[in-house]
Each structure stands twice: as structure tokens, then as C-alpha cells.
A and B are shown apart, each in its own frame.
Chain A
């Protein structure tokens, strides 16, 4: 067991973990932050995406011990300070960018990372960037639309509903 200290959604946490504890396990089991999901075992689905020091990371590919000293943000930390939905979250709701919600935390975290680097991505850039996030429900239409809307683009021309 080693002791790790990190900041998760603005709060400092210290826990002892085994060397092989994955970040997904640490968040879900130790911190009970169950918004970070596990959809695969080959780091292909993106349901587990979180931000570590501002970068999108698949939490299933990282050991908790590796996050020592890091600034971690999960889906639970994405709402506004008053609890209302953040801009990307709100756009997902407004444009029906989620159905079962299982891929959604990863989608929102990936979208946030994309918009940080590329504040007005094209449809093509969004689709390209989401290569590592699988959604089985939405057919991606409304996810792409929601991300374009979150970046302030006019999406009214995109096919109905």
C-alpha cells in the first residue's frame, strides 16, 4: 500500500492504495464517485474519461498512485458552483445528446477537453476527436450537435430535432 494525495474536484484527498489500484477503481470504490464509468477492458470506449491536470485521460489506463499530486476533475466536478449544469452539460440536455447516460460522463469530459484546445471545432473535428468515445444509444448525431452548440455555433440548420 502507498499513500496518495491528490485534489479531486477541488478537494484534497489522501488515501492508501495498492500499487495496482486503477484510477477507475479508486474513484468509484474509494471515493464513491461513481459517475466515472467502466465500459471496456481494452481502453477503447471512453466511458471513464476524466481530467488529470487539465488533460483528458482514460482513467482505466492509469493507476491511482500515478495521480499523486495531481489535480483531478471528474464528471461530478463539472457543474457550476451553484449546482446548475455547466455549459457543455446544458448543451447535452438541450440537444438530447444522451439516452441511457452511460457514455455521457466520458463524452462530456472529452468534449470539455476538446473545447479547451479548440473553442470552435468543425463537425469533422468533433467526430475525429470523439474517436475514443463509444456511444451505443444516440448515433452521435445529437452529441456532435450539442458540442457544436456548446461552442457557441448555430446548430439550427442541422437536421430536425
Chain B
């Protein structure tokens, strides 16, 4: 019998009511009295020298309040990068400046050159058209390999090349890895592209800046996954506004997927401009603008080698990757191809020797940063593709080859720094085999073939590092922030509770799931508990939501704060019951004296805390409110096995997903309904990457996919009903809830399963295709069949 409340139950989401009735409060729904509108004039060339910007005619246009250019930001800080990577030679990465508005040069299509602030958006837009620009177009660095070649155009002249860093991991392993590969019985090599994607949350970014002269305080309403991070970066590094004079609010946010983690120029601009003109400034991205200003994702080109001994045991992995940074370093960009990618190259397997080399490259393209999975999908894709290729070359079953090499003993120290605390990869694989009905595949293939179609089956495993992250560890790795999370549990006099969390909900359902945790601990009804998030003026310093960390880190902070509440409440109860504190038990919202029928209700204790007439005032402060900061001691390691079955039309090359099964180990589950939903969404994004999505540039750096006409988003008829399971749980050993995180798994685990299935289908039709780059569009598949 499934539970109907507390941990493990699936209550209906309480946030749904406002979203379903049009009562959500998204940033664009916020208008501030006296507000102006901002329009950014953006570069339409990939690379150019700004000779002149003449705003004199534009300034005279109706409604214009003020026009800003790069000149206005001289002496103002640039957008900071939050992670410093150290290269193979012990040198820090190259870290060029990133001005709020372009200074001297434009470096990608979409780079903001000027901002018009006017009484209406229409007037702002019209005035922007009257700005006279003299920009001398320069040759652009677009292709990464070419960008590293001699004589390539330089994105940043002052750093002398387009190389951001050349990273080796673990550098000391390199010799052993080279040796193992040289002596291996078999080496499988694969070169592949993990294409550039655009996260595309359905709500475009919005920023509203407001300024109060009364107390010299700025407020920024923004579509962010982590308002405190924005407050810190923007206040301390860009605008020099102290934190107590800066409030950042991220209200209902319409999806993030990573791209709303970062601090963007537009946020700094509206905050800056509102102070200058003493009026609120609002900016709402159009979708086309989002395509050229939201940080993009992925964009790796990789060569991977997998070496096996004569018994098919994995003995070494060596990879070389070019990772695109785009024109500037976005907030966490340097960490993605390194610490979020290299550390996962062991996958679910016990490969003793691993060496990862990554060269990060500047190009005249939109900056690239974390997108759902961030580095881990790139690691998973190359590893799970090369294993499949190896199985085919060796003529062995791809599942058996995986099983043979699984890590089976925990904790497991990988050769790439991380320690897996727990897992059971055979269990998820067993589950998957059952879900995917492998036995029935032959018959289904036959049926497809009878219709003139090909059918393929693909499987893969994945592991990710979530619950980001132990602060001291990431500090050593170059993070310029701690990655703890905070929670304040404020119990009111009548017993209701507000929980203030640094985690941010932009679709994850925290307002429903978090109360389940607190309610379970206190034995009271979930409806008595509300979650407050997304406003730096209300919540303690929090690091926000990304890296599947909300429950593992934010939830743990909540557990710790609630434990403190219980401790204090027991003291109050012992006073009221005139019993020793050690004898007080809390059960079902009641404090009782063990072994007696004496008890006080939760509400009596909370009332006593705030109306302390009968209260141990000498020993205990009144009130019932506690804060905890939780810093995890390790990452968490969700893992699983995924299977995809495709049908391929040899006439057109079109691939259809017929079945998709996902068996995940997320540790303990608080709300199974929400967890399944997270997996579904991730799967659609992974299937989108595998079959549809691609952010394309031409050789001059023109963005070819700048709208939904050219960027193929997965739609309802591109995906099937998924079969998902998370019953194979090995609880995380180091956080109090035993949870691992589920937000990114679907996007990490699905692309290789799809491509493995496509290759299987092609091979079954006699096509000797060993690899196909994503997206496996009809055109590409057809070309592979006939190439």
C-alpha cells in the first residue's frame, strides 16, 4: 500500500493550482510603478571592431529615457567567472574580460552593443534602429580545431591564442594509461561530436531592475535558479553594491535546465540603469534573443580509446576533447568539461587506468555553460558509445560486456578522483532487462521488417555525480564559491511552519516535496508547512538549484534545522510535562513521556515557545526558529541502465522511438510522482539531443538556428510513453535522507541508448555504419546508409 503522506507518498502538487489557473507569478508578470523598458541592440556579426556608435539621433526619438553603451560601463566590473581551472602545467586558465556592454569589439552574434531605455518597448525598439553603428567585420573563429590553428583570428587579442586551458586528468596517470593501451589485446577508438544545444526553458529570461532612493537599495527580479549567487556575483564583482543594499528575487521561474544559473549581462544592466535613471527598468527576452544570449550547452568534439585485455576486461581509457567555451567565460563554464566530465569517465566500470585531456577553446559564438547534466552527458555518451562499438568489434553481447566490467564493491575509488559510496549496477540492469522485454525484441523486429522497416535495440548505463558539492573539495578544484545549502525552519505560535530554503524551485515541485520531509519528522500534517524560496530578503544565504542538489543538499539542511527544532521543542515539552527531557518522545505530532499516558500536543509546545508564561526562561530562549547550513561530505552517485528501441524507415532515414525504459537508482525517494516526472522530462531532452536538436553556426559565425523554425524541439509526437522505475534503491550513505538526486539522469542516460539503437537498426539492415553523430536526423541517417 503506497503511503498517502510524508516521505514516499505522492501528494498532488500544491503549486499546480496557481499554474493551472493562470495565477503564477513569473518575472514577466511583474510590473513596477513607473517602469521603463529596455531593448538591447545586439551584434549581427560574429566578430568585429567597433569604430563608432552614434546615438545622437536615437536619443531624440520619442519616449527615449537614456541610451547606454560600453562607454557607460568603463570602470564598472565585468561579468565574473565562478570557477578557475588550472591547466596541465599548473597554470591558471586564460580569463578574458566580459563587459556588460561590448567595449571595442563584438565577439559573437548577439553580443550586446547598446541598450535603449524608453517609456515603452516599442519606443525603445524604434530608437535602437536609429543608432548608427560603424562596425568593421573581422574574420571569425568558429570551428574549434581551426580556432587553435596558426593564424586563426583571435577572439581576445590580449591572451594571444584561443586556448583557454589544456587540462589533463589525472596527469600522473598518463604514462600508465599510454602503456596499458600499447599493451592491450584490443583497442576500440571512436571519434564523435556532442553537439551544441540550447536549453530552451519555455519561459524566456526576464530581468526587472528597481532602485529605491529612500534607502539606497536595489532590487532585481530575475528568472534565476539561484538568486543569492546572482546577488553575490553582481553585487560584489560587477556593480559594487553591498549585499545588504541588494535584493534579488526569483519568483515563479518557467524552467531552468542550467541556463538560468548564470549571471547575465542583462541582469547587471537593468540593475545599473535603474540606479542611473532612478526608474525601474524591465527587459524581457524574445525567443530569438534567447537563442543568441542564453548560455548554450555541450559542444564537445572527442576522441576516445577503450583498451581491453584478452578476456574483455577494460584496462584503460584515454580521451581527447575539444570543448567550446564560446566568446566569453560564462559563470561556471570552465568546470563543465573538466570536473563535471573527467571525474565521470570511469562510468559504472572498474577500469584501472584513465586519462582525460580537454582543451577549452574560445570561439566567436555564444558562451557555453552547464545544460542539464553538464559534462556528465558528454562523458556518458562517449563511454557508452565506445563500449557498444567494442562489443560489436569483439562479437560479444553489449550487456554482458558491461556486466563483466561493472563496479560491484563499494565504496569504490575510481582512478579519476571520485569515490562512489554505493550502488548496484547489476540490479538496475536486471530491472531494465525485464522492463525492456528483451525477449520480445526478436518478434518486434520481425514485425517491423515485415513492414519494410528496420528495428534496433540499444542499451547503456550511466552514473552521475550529484548533490553538488563538498565546499572544501570544490574549493581545491577551483570553485570560487561554497556549495552548501541553507534552511530556516520557522515555527509559528499556532504550530504552522514556514521553511525558508536556499534551493529554488522552477518546476521541481519543492513546495510539495519539501513539506513531506518536515512533516514526516514532526508527525504533523503537510498542509501546516509552507516553503519559501527565491528571495534574498527572506531566506538565508543559499546556493540554489542545479546539479540535482536540492533534496540531497537543501533537503539535508532542512533535516538538520528540523532536528534542532525537535531538540528545543522536547526541552519545552519536558518542562510542560514536568518530566526529564530524555524521556520525551515525539510521535504523530505529540510529545509524550515514555511509558506514561502524559502528553502535550505540538501546538501546545509551539504556543508556549511564543507565549512563555509557563516556560523555563532561565535555561531556554523563547521562540522556535532554527537555521542550518549543510555542507555535503561527498557527491551522490545516481546511476542506472536505459534501453531504447527504435524503428527506422530505410526509405527516408526517419527514426521513431518505439519504446524507452529507464531503471534508475536514486537512493531513497521522497515523492515518486515527482521523481518520475523529472525522469520523463530528462528523457525527452536526451531524445531531443539524439534525434532532433542542434544549434548550428555557419563558417562566418552566423547563428543558423535562432528560432523554433530552425531549432527542432522535441514535441509530443516525437516521444513515446516511457517506462521508468526507481525501485532499485541503494540509499546514499552520507546524507541524512539517503537521497541521490534525479533531475539530470534522464538527459544524461538517454542519448547513447538512442544512438546505440539506431546503429543496431542500421547494422541489422546490412549497413556497416559504426557511428552516427547527433542529431540522427533523417538526412544524416539516410546519408550514412548510402555513404
B-chain residues with CB within 8 Å of residue A79 when the two chains form the complex: 21
Q: Does A64 contact B (CB under 8 A)?
A: no
Q: Which residues of B contact A144 (CB under 8 A)?
A: 716, 721
The residue on A at minimum CB distance from B715 is A131
Structural contact, B709 and A42, CB atoms closer than 8 A: yes
B 338-379 contacts with A by CB, 8 A = none
* B22:A76 contact, CB within 8 angstroms: yes
Contact: B21 with A96, CB < 8 Å?
no
Q: Is A3 an interface residue (CB 8 A)?
A: no
Tell me, yes or no, whether B131 is within 8 Å of chain A by CB: no
CA distance A77 to B231 in the complex (A): 38
Q: B196-241: which have CB < 8 Å to A?
A: 200-204
How large, as a class, is the contact surface on chain A?
35 or more
Alpha-carbon distance between A144 and B715 when the two chains are bound, in angstroms: 12
Check if B722 is an interface residue, CB within 8 A of chain A. yes
- Is A159 touching B721 in the complex (CB atoms < 8 A)? yes
Q: How far is the CA of A44 from the CA of B200 in the complex (A)?
A: 13
A160 pairs with B676, CB closer than 8 A: yes
Chain B min CB distance to A33 (Å): 7
Interface residue from A40, A44, A133 paired with B716 (Cβ < 8 Å): A133
Out of B16, B676, B681, which one reaches A137, CB within 8 Å?
B681
Among B45-53, B247-255, B314-322, B530-538, the stretch in contact with A: B247-255
A82 interface hit (Cβ, 8 Å): no
Q: Which residues of B contact A33 (CB under 8 A)?
A: 22
Query: Which residues of chain B are near A133, meaning CB under 8 Å?
Result: 715-716
By the criterion CB–CB under 8 Å, are A96 and B673 in contact?
yes
| A95-128 interface code vs B (CB 8 A; 1 in, 0 out) | 0101111111100100000000000000110111
Answer yes or no: A37 CB below 8 A from chain B CBs: yes
In the complex, the answer to whether A140 meets B716 with C-beta atoms within 8 Å is yes
The answer on a CB contact under 8 Å between B680 and A139 is: yes
Shortest Cβ distance from residue B315 to the other chain A in the assembled complex, whole angstroms: 38
Name the contact of A92 in the complex, choosing from B18, B20, B203 (C-beta under 8 A): B20
In the complex, A23 has a CB within 8 A of chain B: no
Q: Shortest distance in angstroms between A36's beta carbon and chain B's nearest beta carbon? A: 7
Q: Which of chain A's residues has its CB closest to B723's CB?
A: A159
| A139 with B508, Cβ < 8 A, contacts A98-B16, A102-B202 known | no
Within 8 A of B (CB), among A27-63: 28-29, 33-42, 44-45, 47
| B717 close to A130 (CB less than 8 A) | yes
A127 and B715 CA atoms in complex are apart in Å by 8
Q: Does A85 contact B (CB under 8 A)?
A: yes
- Known contacts being A37-B203, A140-B684, is A102 close to B26, with CB within 8 Å? yes
Assembly CA distance A54 to B721 (angstroms):
30
**A161 in contact (CB, < 8 A):** yes
Query: Does residue A142 face the partner (Cβ distance < 8 Å to B)?
Result: yes
CB < 8 Å neighbour of A108 from B20, B201, B680, B722: B20
Quick one: given A37-B26, A42-B708, are A136 and B717 in contact (CB under 8 Å)? no
Contact A100:B723 (CB < 8 A) given known A45-B202, A93-B17, A138-B677:
no
- Knowing A34-B29, A143-B716, A159-B723, the reply to whether A137 touches B20 (Cβ < 8 A) is no
B713 at the interface (CB under 8 A from A): yes
- Chain B residue numbers with a CB within 8 Å of A78 are 20-21
Q: Does A149 contact B (CB under 8 A)?
A: no
Shortest C-beta distance, B453 to chain A (Å), equals 17
Produce 1/0 per residue, B569-610, CB < 8 A to A. Answer: 000000000000000000000000000000000000000000
Complex CA distance for A5 and B716, rounded to whole angstroms: 36
- Taking a contact as CB atoms closer than 8 A, the residue among B507, B685, B725 that contacts A100 in the complex is B507
Instruction: Write 19 A-B pairs (CB below 8 A) sorted by A numbering.
Output: A28-B28, A34-B29, A39-B203, A93-B12, A98-B20, A100-B255, A101-B15, A104-B19, A105-B22, A130-B715, A134-B715, A136-B200, A136-B681, A136-B684, A137-B677, A137-B681, A140-B715, A141-B721, A145-B721
Interfacial residues, chain A to chain B (CB-CB below 8 A): 28-29, 33-42, 44-45, 47, 74-76, 78-79, 85, 89, 92-94, 96, 98-105, 108, 123-124, 126-128, 130-131, 133-145, 158-161
Question: Which 8 A-B residue pairings sit nearest by Cβ, starting from the closest?
Answer: A35-B22, A101-B19, A102-B254, A100-B507, A139-B684, A139-B680, A99-B507, A44-B708
Which residues does B use to contact A, with CB under 8 Å?
10, 12-13, 15-24, 26, 28-29, 31, 200-204, 252-255, 257, 286-288, 506-509, 672-677, 680-685, 707-709, 713-717, 719, 721-725, 746
